[in-house]
Chains A and B, each alone.
Chain A
Amino acid sequence: MEGNNFSPETGFDSFHGAIPHATLSFDSPERYRGEAHFLAHSGARLLALWADSPSSIRASLILREGVVLLSLSLPKDSLSFPSLSSIFPTAGRFERTIADLFGLLPEGLTDLRPWSDHGLWLVPPLAEGRPSLHQPFAPEDYPFVRVRGEGVHEIPVGPVHAGIIEPGHFRFSVVGEKVLRLETRMGYVHKGIDSLFRGRTLFEGARLASRISGDSAVATSLAFSKAVEEALNIEVSEGIRFVRALLLERERIANHIGDLGALGNDAGLGVALSLFGPLRERMHRHNLTHFGHRLLFDTIVPGGVSTFLSPQMVDALLQETDDLLSEVSLLERIYSDHGGLQDRFQNTGILSPEIAIRLGIGGVAGRASGQGWDLRIDHREDPVHRFSPALALDHVGDVAARVRIRFFEIFESLHLVHALLTNFPGPDICSTLPDIPLSREGLGIVEGFRGEVLGWVRIRPGKTIESAHIAEGSPLLWHALEASVPGNLVADFPLINKSFNPSYSGSDL
């Protein structure tokens, strides 16, 4: 890498057919920033930015060709690290989290308000006794950005919301019914997950990885397991890969079904919730019967899967797929023909393609705004690529577009599930996990139901976790939500929020 920038054409490694990725290590802050700048101009999006120790900053970027992990080593006793916020606008909150947890100053970041820190910590919790620039503050002093003008007022919402929802704070600045600005304040469900990974065994780690965000349990534990498998240099067998792909698509279908029902309900069609609810319930019950857990927690473990797929199970799941196809097809026609519903969906919460590019939004929200990123389609990862999945793409970027994308993806996933089941090569045994003589790192990337899910792990000899991080894409969706709510009515906020459906737990970690 001396003097030259990373080449997306030749620089990637594809580990055992996985999605190509590369790790670039830097000692110099200038070169780290320079490489990020170069890759941003090559079309890279920022997926996540974190610190795995007070002297190691990591930024993961995704390009069309694969994923690049930038790794910056800071000198001992360094109190600051270079900010990428002028290159990637979404970097700021990640860097504010690092500042809160490690007491490091992001150099070049203009917004230095605390993010994960709510004023309860006397010292940064992960500073490991090093000196820090941490300044205690009173939690009620958090300076929200004020909008001034005649008739402007604020509506504070949360952390406890009116319903069965996770906690977070929203600050609306409104005139009359119209939202002028939305600012989110997260961190209420911060659980210190990165620190909990440390010292755990690989299977305990997989258990924790299943619980980053309960609705994405398969995606997060699969990303973690893939990272572990790369670090230990093991390849999983074909039967295992089929079961994993099947579980991932089942999770996607169940979540899209749940979100579509909730979207209809939020738009005033209460019966939608009653029609979609039983479909999801049936999937959860099949999950319990066939895979041992309603939400598929702990079904994916490093080296394999914890479940088994018999010919009888294949038949039962094929029947379920056919039933879901006919039921969801009818519900899609009901949604698209319903004038009142479409009136609420259309032109509500528009995320323009330009802003989606600027924020680097992928997943469902990106695909609804003209950003055609889907790891299952962009990369020839086995076994899904054998069945040529189609890309869901829309360009309008409103709630209606995100609803269309979700319907499209349900049908596409049902097609994939059907193909995976009919071509199932038969059960395979899980790989054993070898020990390693030296600490090693691995990276795993998965297309979850929201978007890309990234798992990174460093394992030390004895098969325990030295450090790990899982990013499931929700922090970027809060930026997308903030960009798409202004100009809409306050009453449309729940609808817009549900159409993105970011996870609070997945972003606070």
Chain B
Amino acid sequence: MWKLLWKILKSGNLTESRMHKPERTSPCEYSRSASIRHLDSGSCNGCELELWALENPVHSLSSQGFSFVASPRHADILLVTGPLSCHMKEALEKTYQAMPSPKRLLAVGDCAINGGVFRGSYAIHNGVTEDMSPNLTVPGCPPRPEEIADAIRRSFSPAKTHSDSPVLDLEIRSPLP
């Protein structure tokens, strides 16, 4: 046991400080705490490895107020990876519908945006953007953890990151047909 305690004491704090302070532009803005439900819609698990990396002490996304949650009922952000396989479409729709509003949709990785290397297959929908409108997309194969973390932080900031409109897009249009 002493070895473990010694190791913990010796390790110290490894977290790289990335505290993000959003501009206060609207009364109903997000104030740095949100829950994320991750959904793998058919990825190769490369994006999942980078999401795992966000949880390690170096990136420590949870110390910045973002946690991955088990239920869509608890989630503010749906983070989708993978090219949306035909067999995961129903699961994606049900997961999104189970989330309370306001909610955000994040498409992480080239696959989720346009199918990536799997584009054109009979078994996929070429990403989530065919049928849904993500609030933010994070390109990369896979994107680096810093890029994903940055997108997660920006996903609740005012809509100017998405378009030039300064209005906070709280009631996003339903991405589902």
What is the interface of chain A, defined by CB distance below 8 A to chain B?
118, 120, 125, 159-160, 162-167, 187-193, 195-196, 207-208, 211-215, 217, 258, 271, 273-275, 277-278, 280-281, 284, 288, 294-295, 297, 330-331, 333-334, 337-338, 503-505
Q: How far is the CA of A192 from the CA of B123 in the complex (A)?
A: 6
Q: How far is the CA of A118 from the CA of B41 in the complex (A)?
A: 15
Is the beta-carbon distance between A167 and B91 smaller than 8 angstroms?
yes
Q: Pick the contact of B46 from A258, A274, A297 — CB < 8 Å?
A: A297
Which B residues are CB-close (under 8 A) to A159? 87-88, 91
* In the A-B complex, the 5 residue pairs with the closest CB atoms: A214-B46, A277-B56, A162-B70, A192-B123, A192-B121
11 further A-B pairs in the complex, CB-CB below 8 A; given A277-B57, A505-B43 = A159-B91, A162-B71, A189-B88, A190-B87, A196-B118, A211-B46, A214-B45, A215-B45, A278-B56, A281-B58, A297-B141
Known: A191-B118, A274-B57, A338-B4. A217 touches B87 (CB 8 A): no
Q: Pick the contact of A211 from B44, B57, B85 — CB < 8 Å?
A: B44
Is the beta-carbon distance between A195 and B122 smaller than 8 angstroms?
yes
Contact with A along B36-49 (1 / 0, CB 8 A): 00111111111111
Q: How far is the CA of A501 from the CA of B51 in the complex (A)?
A: 17
Is the beta-carbon distance between A214 and B87 smaller than 8 angstroms?
no
Give the total of B residues in contact with A, Cβ under 8 Å: 50
Scoring B4, B118, B121 by chain A CB atoms within 10 A of each residue's CB, the highest score goes to B4
Is the beta-carbon distance between A193 and B42 smaller than 8 angstroms?
no
Is the beta-carbon distance between A330 and B56 smaller than 8 angstroms?
no
Is the beta-carbon distance between B4 and A165 smaller than 8 angstroms?
no
Which A residues are CB-close (under 8 A) to B83? 191
Is the beta-carbon distance between B68 and A163 smaller than 8 angstroms?
yes
Is the C-beta of B53 less than 8 angstroms from some C-beta in chain A? Answer: yes
Is the beta-carbon distance between B42 and A189 smaller than 8 angstroms?
yes
A-B contact count (CB 8 A): 152
Known: A160-B39, A280-B53. A330 touches B45 (CB 8 A): no
Scoring B8, B40, B88, B95 by chain A CB atoms within 10 A of each residue's CB, the highest score goes to B40
Which B residues are CB-close (under 8 A) to A338? 1, 4
Is the beta-carbon distance between B58 and A277 smaller than 8 angstroms?
yes
Which A residues are CB-close (under 8 A) to B82? 189
Q: How far is the CA of A118 from the CA of B91 in the complex (A)?
A: 13
Is the C-beta of B167 less than 8 angstroms from some C-beta in chain A? Answer: no
26 A-B pairs within 8 Å (CB atoms) are namely A118-B87, A120-B86, A163-B38, A164-B51, A164-B55, A167-B40, A187-B87, A188-B88, A189-B42, A189-B87, A189-B88, A192-B124, A193-B118, A211-B46, A214-B45, A215-B45, A258-B52, A273-B55, A273-B56, A277-B53, A278-B14, A280-B56, A295-B46, A297-B46, A337-B3, A503-B45
Is the C-beta of B169 less than 8 angstroms from some C-beta in chain A? Answer: no
CB distance from B112 to the nearest CB of A (A): 13
Is the C-beta of B21 less than 8 angstroms from some C-beta in chain A? Answer: no
CB distance from B78 to the nearest CB of A (A): 11
Which A residues are CB-close (under 8 A) to B50? 294-295
Which A residues are CB-close (under 8 A) to B88? 159, 167, 188-189
Is the C-beta of B120 less than 8 angstroms from some C-beta in chain A? Answer: yes
Q: How far is the CA of A160 from the CA of B68 in the complex (A)?
A: 14
Is the beta-carbon distance between B57 and A189 smaller than 8 angstroms?
no
Which A residues are CB-close (under 8 A) to B57? 274, 277-278
Q: Pick the contact of A333 from B3, B48, B49, B141 — CB < 8 Å?
A: B3
Scoring A160, A187, A192, A211 by chain B CB atoms within 10 A of each residue's CB, the highest score goes to A160
Is the beta-carbon distance between B124 and A281 smaller than 8 angstroms?
no
